[in-house]
Amino acid sequence: MLPTIDKAVLGAATEAGLSNVKTMELSSAFNGRRLCEKGVGLLEEEGMTSWTNPEAVNKTEWINQIRTVSALWPPYELQEDLHPNYWAQLALRNCLSQAYNTGTPKGGTCNISALGRNSAGEPIMSLH
């Protein structure tokens, strides 16, 4: 889904014809943490009970799994399927902070750059 969203945003920015538009490409931001990707899984599959576990950022999927109506129970909602979860939201926050660049916005591609978390508790991402 991210490549489709990126394409739409980049297309709109181009069509706008504005010279000061900065874009942030996210199509590969979650590589290594996507649904069903080798090496990551759900918290319970990885032997963890909380997102706050120090290894959760490295060992879990960052996208909410797809649930059917029969598999829904609180706190899950059907409209949350395929949306960024806790770690992905923090990763996006990291990317947006880098794009904001202390008031001098810059564009680029955001990716996971290392295991673990930064001093703000976010996954370590790089915008280049």
Helices vs. strands in the chain: H and E counts, helices first: 3, 3
CB-based contact 5:32 (threshold 8 Å) = no
**pLDDT category of residue 3 using cuts at 50, 70 and 90:** confident
pTM: 0.83
Give me the pLDDT at residue 1, please. 76
Residues of the chain above pLDDT 90, percent: 65
Residues 6+ apart with CB under 8 A from 12: none
Alpha carbon distance 86, 57 (integer Å): 9
Helix (H, G, I), strand (E, B) or coil at 10: helix
The string of pLDDT tens digits covering residues 28-77 is 999 999 988 999 998 889 999 998 899 999 999 998 776 555 555 555 55
Q: Cβ distance 91 to 123 under 8 Å?
A: yes
